[in-house]
Structure 1
Amino acid sequence: MNEQFYELPQEKQLRIINAGLEVFSKNDYRHAVTDEIARKAGISKGLLFYYFHNKKSLYLYLFDYCASLIMNQVMGDGPGGSGDEPASGGNESGGKAARWETVTDFFELLEMAAEAKIKVLEKTPYLADFMVRGYYSEDGIVKEDLNRATMEAVSSAFKKYFRNVDYSRFKPEVPPMEIYEMLVWLTEGYLHDKRKSNASISIKEIMEKFYVWEKWLKQIAYKEEYQKMEA
């Protein structure tokens, strides 16, 4: 992409971002029309491609943007977006440690991360559907790049977010990373099935499902003396 995009006023950047998220969330990659994105953003298609050299460049930028937005929320860097404008992200706060850095229980951290993500989804229209479409995209043009970006993001987030966890609570035969991946797959699979059936997505229902899955996985992963869920 053209770095001059970052020199635009934030309001204009957000118009382009929101337009892209809306169109890509309602259509698979191949059928998303860049003319429609430009129209919704209030710019010409030529200008859109001046900032993003092609459709793929724009799509991958939006995927990275959303992943960063969610991670910033999880890491405690800001309140997320508001209204129909996603936040522009932020840098990890320095000095005073974020709350997640003081937590040593793996499953408590998972809950904190899930609740932070939900706040972003509640405030940012189209983000959930866009990300789910991306995770399950079968389009050969972007699939390989998305798979690589997803794997890198999951690995990086795990190493950073769970770095202070007390892994001695785990049964020796249970890999923590696989428990993390299982919970991610369960949640994303649920969202994917809802999208395929055109059913409405209830944030409350997602969290209810999440807490049940988390309880099951804790029983699988933790030694018996650590399995009791805290009130």
Structure 2
Amino acid sequence: MRFLDYEKVINMLISFIQEKVEESKVKGVVLGISGGVDSATVAYLATKALGKERVLGLILPYYINQDVDDALLVCKELGIEHKLINIKEIVDQFEKSIGFELDRVSKGNLMSRTRMVILYAYANSKNYLVLGTSNKSEFLTGYFTKWGDAASDYAPLINLYKTEVWEIAKRVGVPERIINKKPSAGLWEGQSDEDDLGISYQLLDEILYRLVDLKMEKNKIAEELNVPIEKVKHVENLVKRSEHKRRLPIGPEI
């Protein structure tokens, strides 16, 4: 992986948040806090950048589980204003209203988009920006819900791979139990990022860095990392098939 001066990167991220809030002439920021390392890291960075009085954390679970406890821990450790809103009734009523049962993935996407709507409702009412919590690994592989968790005004972690986010989390004070927990989008019980992606984040990031940043040939990547070429092709396929998720809608030029 690439070498990063993490203290320098942290200062850059803090300055980025400060600058965007100042440029936008808003009063603060709101973000969804899931109990995972990405949202926790953004919460810690935002609090360092703006002070706890200008950060609002929304905890928006469908399931009440350990993730909620971890999200509450982050908010209480930082001393930021926070609200816990169970989205189950909203999501279930929506599903009932459309007249058919959603499959697991579609319902998970609905949960994510419901959270986005709530975040922007609070942002608009308070004159805040929405801070996104997506990282580069998720963004490049399309591991996010279009117009859901990827919808934000600014995304401080979007150019940092997941393994790099873990390093930043350690340095800004995110609790160890959150850093060490198994990554999950929390869209259904027992979900795991790495199971969904079909690869560990450690290997995924090594391949993505070489494939996207260094633009190495697939066979060279496989040889350098001592992995089957199929693993590299799998990652390449994740990137290619999710390209539409990373851009605004386009049409033919007239």
Please indicate, yes or no, whether the TM-score normalized by the shorter chain is above 0.5.
no
Structure showing the higher strand proportion among its residues? 2
Structure showing the higher helix proportion among its residues? 1
Q: TM-score, normalised by structure 1?
A: 0.27
